[in-house]
Amino acid sequence: MKTIKGPGIFLAQFAGDAAPFNSLQGIAGWAAGLGYKGVQIPSWDKRFIDLRQAAESQAYCDDLRGTLNAAGAVLTELSTHLQGQLVAVHPAYDSLFDSFAPSEVHGNTKARQQWAIEQLHLAARASRNLGLTEHATFSGALAWPYLYPWPQRPAGLVETAFQELANRWKPILDIFDENGVNACFEIHPGADIHDGASFEMFLDLLGGHPRCNLLYDPSHFVLQQLSYLEYIDLYHDRIKMFHVKDAEFNPTGRQGVYGGFQSWVNRAGRFRSLGDGQVDFGGIFSKLTQYGYSGWAVMEWECCIKDSAQGAREGAPFIQKHIIQAVDKAFDDFADASTDQAAIDRLLGLDRENA
């Protein structure tokens, strides 16, 4: 077993135009001051990273890591959540997702998709230059509007959508493989890969690609009412990243999983700051440690009630409290009785000489 690294913090929800949240040095120093040892960088935010330069210049990457070290933090992973979503977009969401890309590709689905794919290629190379082995992303979605089978889905619709999704991601994953980096898909509503079954469909179509892995975030499973602890039992060998994020689900006579088109604060399922929701983090940290997860525990803050500053202050000690120092010997070693094969045979009543 290995000890989970942390606490880390995903910077996306804290970036801003005012200091210290508008520069890598400033926000890393702020995070380190709160007790975070690592930061996860959203690659689309040029206040923190120039992704193309990171992909092409080792010197730039060395300087970036130096900036973090001077602030008292290290880089945990890069994220292309927004770019990954654009690898596959159903026409119903086309205009809504334009905001994830530069203005020059707005209204041009094919150009936007090619931009997103290039961004993934750059992220793979940048991760290698930065000494990283894991990368966070979304899969995008073609079948999501047909999640509920009413009207009935035409035969072959889901299969065609997933085959196309796999076809688009296979060359990207090959680039990640060339650079020694795992692409870790966050299992998330709005993406075709939104639970274990859909991940298995995707992975099978990719032939079990070694770089197709998982970012584990239990909050999305609470909102789906999926067993997030058993999920670790099933997929621990593919879990390479971990977002520590809390949630709660309180169904009523008026609404349940679908949320009734209500705002986040009025939904039965909603995200909460760490410790304010229903997630059993003791069970999660135990299982991940049991299975040898040695990556980072990174807080992703999203809460519809608590202020982000308070959530950030409380997050680092919460994660630190849950990190388990993995054992290096059995608890009952003190009672170990040294034996040899002859002694074992006697204990079992085995007479090998006369057998």
Distance between CA 21 and CA 78 in Å, rounded? Answer: 17
Q: Is residue 268 part of a domain?
A: yes
Distance between CA 101 and CA 115 in Å, rounded? Answer: 8
Q: Is residue 305 part of a domain?
A: yes
Average pLDDT for the chain: 96
pLDDT at 1: 84
Nearest Cα residue to 82 out of 12, 25, 172: 12
Q: Is residue 355 part of a domain?
A: no
In the predicted structure, residue 331 carries a pLDDT above the cut 70: no
Nearest Cα residue to 185 out of 217, 226, 218, 213: 213
- Domains of the chain: total: 1
Nearest Cα residue to 57 out of 119, 121, 126, 115: 126
Distance between CA 211 and CA 332 in Å, rounded? Answer: 38
The pLDDT tens digits of the residues spanning 221-254 come to 999 999 999 999 999 999 999 999 999 999 999 9
Alpha helices in the chain (DSSP H): 24-33, 51-56, 58-71, 81-85, 109-129, 157-178, 196-205, 218-224, 228-235, 281-290, 308-322, 341-348
- Under DSSP, the state recorded for 14 is G
- Kindly state the tokens that stand for 161: 């959508």
The pLDDT tens digits of the residues spanning 17-50 come to 999 999 999 999 999 999 999 999 999 999 999 9
Q: Is residue 89 part of a domain?
A: yes
Q: What SS3 class is residue 318?
A: helix
Q: Mean pLDDT throughout 301-330? A: 94
In the predicted structure, residue 352 carries a pLDDT above the cut 80: no
pLDDT at 328: 76
In the predicted structure, residue 340 carries a pLDDT above the cut 80: yes
The pLDDT tens digits of the residues spanning 121-135 come to 999 999 999 999 999
Q: Is residue 353 part of a domain?
A: no
Range of the domain at 315: 5-348
Size of the chain, expressed as the number of residues it contains: 355
pLDDT at 4: 98
Report the CATH number that the domain containing residue 134 is assigned in CATH.
Answer: 3.20.20.150
Q: Is residue 178 part of a domain?
A: yes
For residues 162 and 192, is the Cβ–Cβ distance under 8 A? yes
pLDDT at 130: 98
Q: Is the pTM of this model over 0.85?
A: yes
pLDDT at 343: 85
pLDDT at 330: 64
Q: Is residue 144 part of a domain?
A: yes
In the predicted structure, residue 355 carries a pLDDT above the cut 80: no
Q: Report residue 337's pLDDT band, with 50, 70 and 90 as the boundaries.
A: low
